[in-house]
């Protein structure tokens, strides 16, 4: 057995297959499930006994890739990059990835010190468009920072735009973040995020299905998104146009029964149109970290009720507020008139008027009482009386 708890042959076989088979290949996943890793490796190496479900051309392509696979070299390259290979059955394997069925990763290359399984148990994906607005960047960074401050792990794809803002928000809060790449974990992509991905590897985790040295392709980005969705309790899309690739993460989360959330944007912004379409369906509208945690967190993690700012008049006793509301806005009034408007006695009205005068709401004008300017603004909610 290896130090990770899996037989060396099984682990080496999965490393071999990770070099030969593309991520998310459900036909190959079924081979592994039905025939076992060793048998699939044997047939690919020999090239003589084709496995079911593929045509001759595709089988020949897989065999050609198998001839170039060197799993021991891949493991050595990973070690040199500070990475390890985690596969199903390991103590560090996140069990929720098994929800992907035959499309689950053969294994994951993990760069960073924390335990992937433990971090994934309390994680949320924050994704969105590469071409984003300042609003989207601010919303993603603020949301990620709030989640990190509440002890949640922020998972994203390391890309430009919303992904980068989410990672930076979590790092700024000295929190935990995971970047799931569509390439080898020793090949930071995009190149402009090399320093950011390096910081994530130092403070968090960089994860990927592809072996060291492999490069990203458009299809690999889309397939990478299913891992982000499966790894986390829920996915938040901050900003995305109707054809944004980040929407595939949300759709994968919905298929897997995970929570799907969206941060609304301006109704005039095409970059939020995809999010708004999600919100018209089964996604939940969220505006900050507390609302996300209320949805994905444990029982009792409730977001505070939304309300406007507390105004000075809100602190008055109900009887005093009633008398205050009974004063005319444009003239002085006698105590008996105010009492009539407040549906109380003259003596009670006078008592409340003296209380209100001490607080600066009313003032005496001969035999009458009049609102101060401060009170007129307060009573009318900031609007001058007509």
Q: Which domains does the chain have, with CATH numbers?
A: 107-296 (3.40.50.450), 312-379 (1.10.10.10)
Q: What is the pLDDT of residue 302?
A: 56
- pLDDT block averages, 10 residues each, the chain of length 386: 53 96 96 96 92 93 94 96 96 97 97 96 96 94 96 96 96 96 93 95 97 93 96 96 91 96 94 95 95 82 57 74 87 91 90 86 88 68 39
Burial 143-165 (b: 16+ CB within 10 A, else e): bbbbbbebebbbbbbbbebbbbb
Separation of alpha carbons 135 and 2, rounded Å: 48
Separation of alpha carbons 112 and 136, rounded Å: 28
Q: What is the pLDDT of residue 76?
A: 96
Q: What is the pLDDT of residue 301?
A: 57
* Beta-sheet pairing, 333-334 with 205-208: unpaired
3-state secondary structure 123-172: EEEEECCCCCCHHHHHHHHHHHHHHHHCCCEEEECCCCCHHHHHHHHHHH
Q: What is the pLDDT of residue 44?
A: 96
Q: What is the pLDDT of residue 140?
A: 96
Task: Give which of 21, 4, 6 is closest to 69, Cα–Cα.
Answer: 21
Q: What is the pLDDT of residue 313?
A: 64
Q: What is the pLDDT of residue 4?
A: 41
């Amino acid at each position: 057995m290896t130090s990770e708890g899996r037989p060396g042959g099984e682990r080496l076989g999965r490393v071999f297959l990770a070099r030969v088979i593309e991520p998310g290949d459900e036909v190959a996943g079924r081979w592994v499930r039905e025939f076992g890793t060793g048998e699939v490796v044997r047939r690919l190496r020999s090239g003589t006994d084709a496995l079911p479900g593929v045509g001759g051309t595709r089988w020949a392509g897989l065999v050609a890739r198998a001839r170039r696979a060197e799993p021991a070299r891949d493991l050595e390259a990973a070690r040199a990059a500070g990475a390890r290979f985690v596969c199903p059955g390991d103590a560090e394997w996140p069990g929720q990835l098994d929800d992907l069925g035959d499309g689950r990763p053969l294994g994951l290359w993990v760069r960073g010190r924390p335990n992937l399984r433990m971090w994934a148990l309390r994680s949320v994906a924050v994704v969105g468009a590469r071409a984003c607005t300042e609003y989207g960047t601010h919303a993603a960074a603020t949301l990620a920072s709030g989640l990190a401050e509440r002890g949640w792990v922020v998972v994203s794809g390391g890309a430009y735009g919303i992904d980068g803002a989410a990672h930076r928000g979590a790092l700024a809060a000295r929190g935990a973040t995971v970047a799931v790449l569509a390439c080898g974990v020793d090949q930071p992509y995009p190149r402009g995020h090399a320093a950011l991905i390096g910081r994530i590897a130092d403070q968090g985790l960089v994860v990927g299905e592809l072996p060291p040295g492999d490069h990203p392709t458009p299809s690999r980005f889309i397939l990478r998104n299913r891992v982000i969705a499966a790894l986390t309790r829920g996915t938040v899309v901050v900003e995305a146009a109707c054809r944004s690739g980040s929407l595939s993460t949300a759709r994968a989360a919905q298929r897997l029964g995970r929570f799907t959330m969206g941060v609304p944007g301006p109704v005039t912004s095409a970059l939020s149109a995809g999010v708004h379409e999600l919100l018209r369906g089964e996604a939940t509208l969220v505006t900050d970290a507390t609302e996300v945690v209320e949805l994905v967190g444990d029982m009792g993690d409730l977001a505070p009720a939304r309300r406007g700012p507390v105004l000075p008049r809100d602190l008055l006793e109900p009887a005093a507020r009633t008398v205050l509301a009974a004063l005319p806005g444009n003239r002085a009034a006698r105590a008996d008139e105010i009492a009539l408007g407040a549906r109380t006695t003259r003596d009670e009205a006078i008592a409340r008027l003296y209380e209100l005068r001490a607080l600066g709401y009313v003032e005496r004008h001969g035999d009458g009482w009049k609102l101060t300017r401060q009170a007129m603004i307060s009573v009318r909610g900031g609007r001058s009386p007509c």
